[in-house]
Amino acid sequence: MQAGTAATPWAVELDDATVAFHLADARVYTAVEQANLAVKDGEFVAIVGPTGCGKSTLLNIAAGLLRPAGGAVRIFGQPLTGLNRDAGYLFQAEALFPWKTAIENIAIGLEIAGVRQADARQRAEGWLASVGLGAFGNRYPHMLSGGQRKRIGLAQVLIRNPKILLMDEPFGPLDAQTRQIMGNLLLELWSADRKAVLFVTHDLEEAIALADRVVIMSAGPQARIIGDWRVPLARPRDIFEIRLEKEFHALHREIWSVLKDEVMKGYVQSSQVAGAAP
Amino acid sequence: MNRLHLLLCQLLVAVVIVGLWQLFSTVPIFGRMILPPFFFSNPVDVGAQIVAWFVAGTIWKHLAITLWESILAFVIGSLGGVLFGFWFARQPRIAAIFDPYVKMANALPRVVLAPIFTLWLGLGIWSKVALGVTLVFFIVFFNVYQGVKEVSGTVLANGRMLGMNERQLMRHVYWPSALSWMFSSLHTSVGFAVVGAVVGEYLGSAAGLGYLIQQAEGVFDVAGVFAGMFVLSAFVILIDIGVTLVERRLLVWRPDAAGSRI
């Protein structure tokens, strides 16, 4: 698939991207092998796979935090060198600056880009309200709950208005109800100006409920992309309700029949070779 | 146990110790003194000596000099520690080259340096400041080094993805992290600044609390030695309270330092 450089519809393209790590004993661990994935501008793509299959690795390649050992990465048609400046990244682990208050955490992305502090703060106030934490601006991260911290993280990323949103199991550590609330919040904010989204999760239901496309990865090592489904559910969606729909169940059953084997493989492998994955 | 109760218990400990000291050093038991006054003096004499110093006003000069030496030692040692800690943490090769020498220098008992500093810097305050600096420097150095090294990889990656360049990472990520480690060692490093000053004075000087203690010792004035020790303890506790206040203000963001605040 050769996209023109000028008006490419692809926000993110991974061509045969391969990721390998050198282990301590000089062996090479191939985490992801020849992954091909293309995300259209404005498209919400979820990557689902068993634990340790290299989903996050794929995301780090798209972010430019990791160099692929082979293959190419293109962002809006341009080969990616260095960090992906068009992308906002929501991490799985705690990524807020603990020494900054909620409002400072949100405003920082603008301040370092040269926006005047007063303006940056004012826009940050707006985002604070958008994620429903208007009254919590002066709290430090440790004074907020896990879900509140994720909201701040979301605002921190979105305030820079990135063209691509990379999300690495962002709601993984949250409880089930909070995850659904966060999912709805994400869809609400995303639908305002549809960015390209690459959303990594191990939760198939979450993936179907949120995404336009669901991509399945095989169990690692040498994980590959083994399936790609379009989600035919209408938007706007309410992810509390959507789980009850017939189409949702049909698609879930279909994808799960493929994913199940990989999950079992992944489980067996991870219980056999402890410490092989980096 | 509430605060008042705790305070009463703490006071009780002091009263019992001072009471026993007074008893054993003034009242003979079975015909002999358990604490001979020549070696142990007694609390009343020690107290009288302290009062005399404050009434005459001579103590203020000595306190001021010790305080000034401690502050200088702390400031210079901290600045050096922060600079080198940062530099070594960001340049692993430099750190690797200097590693054995840093360890050697840190293992050296500082007291042996005192005569050298006196030779180099004279009997004035600077030889004492230098001694304090050698103590403070290493504490701050190791903590800042650790602080820069232990910045969370995720927070760092987040900074990068938010568009920070090296300079901005330094200011918004490495610096606050290193500072928090430095402040966590603040009590220790301030304490060592005072130790450096007093030990330096004790080994050779014309003023300061260490000098006062040394002078008293020179004429076997045990009451004077104890009085000097008590004034020194009170002085250190006051400084420590000051440090706690500064720490509370600067480390509000930290869950453990914030303590009772939520």
What are the pLDDT digits (tens) for B83-110? 999 999 988 899 999 999 999 998 988 8
Reported as a pLDDT band with limits 50, 70 and 90, residue B262 is very low
Mean pLDDT of chain A: 86
Nearest chain A CA: its distance from B163 CA (Å): 7
Considering CB atoms only, which of A83, A98, A143 is closest to B161?
Answer: A83
Residue A114, pLDDT > 80, answer yes
Could you tell me how many CB contacts below 8 A there are between chain A and chain B? 67
For chain B, give the percent of residues with pLDDT over 90: 52
What are the pLDDT digits (tens) for A23-51? 777 778 888 888 888 899 989 999 998 87
What are the pLDDT digits (tens) for A64-93? 998 888 888 999 988 988 899 899 999 988
Q: Which residues contact A173 (CB under 8 A, 6 or more apart)?
A: A92, A146
Q: Which residues contact B209 (CB under 8 A, 6 or more apart)?
A: B62, B63, B66, B198, B201, B228, B231, B232, B235
Q: Which residues contact A121 (CB under 8 A, 6 or more apart)?
A: A103, A107
- Identify the CA nearest to A123 among candidates A167, A158, A91, A151: A158
Residue A277, pLDDT > 60, answer no
What are the pLDDT digits (tens) for B135-154? 999 999 999 998 888 888 89
Task: Give helix then strand counts, H and E, for chain B.
Answer: 14, 0
Whole-number Cα distances in Å, A70 to A28, A106, B80: 14, 36, 45
Class of the domain covering A10-86+164-272: alpha beta
Residues of B with CB under 8 A from a CB of A: 152, 154-155, 157-165, 168, 172-173, 176-177, 180, 252-255, 258, 262
For residues A265 and A259, give the distance between their C-alpha atoms in angstroms, rounded to a whole number: 10
Name the residue of chain B whose CA is nearest to A112's CA.
B164
Reported as a pLDDT band with limits 50, 70 and 90, residue A273 is low
For residues A109 and A118, give the distance between their C-alpha atoms in angstroms, rounded to a whole number: 13
Q: Which residues contact B241 (CB under 8 A, 6 or more apart)?
A: none
Helical pair A146-158 and A117-130, crossing angle rounded to 10 deg:
130
Residue A150, pLDDT > 80, answer yes
Residue B37, pLDDT > 60, answer yes
Name the residue of chain A whose CA is nearest to B176's CA.
A99
Contacts with A143 from chain B: Cβ below 8 Å: 262
State the pLDDT at residue A3: 43
Instruction: Give mean pLDDT, residues B9-21.
Output: 94
Reported as a pLDDT band with limits 50, 70 and 90, residue A198 is very high
B158 contacts A91? CB cut-off 8 A: yes
For residues B109 and B87, give the distance between their C-alpha atoms in angstroms, rounded to a whole number: 25
**Ordered structural domains, chain B, with CATH:** 1-40 (no CATH), 41-258 (1.10.3720.10)
State the pLDDT at residue A1: 43
Nearest chain A CA: its distance from B228 CA (Å): 42
B155 contacts A83? CB cut-off 8 A: no
For residues A190 and A192, give the distance between their C-alpha atoms in angstroms, rounded to a whole number: 5
> How many CA within 13 A on the CB side of residue A35?
38
Spans of all domains in chain A: 10-86+164-272, 96-161
For residues B244 and B101, give the distance between their C-alpha atoms in angstroms, rounded to a whole number: 33
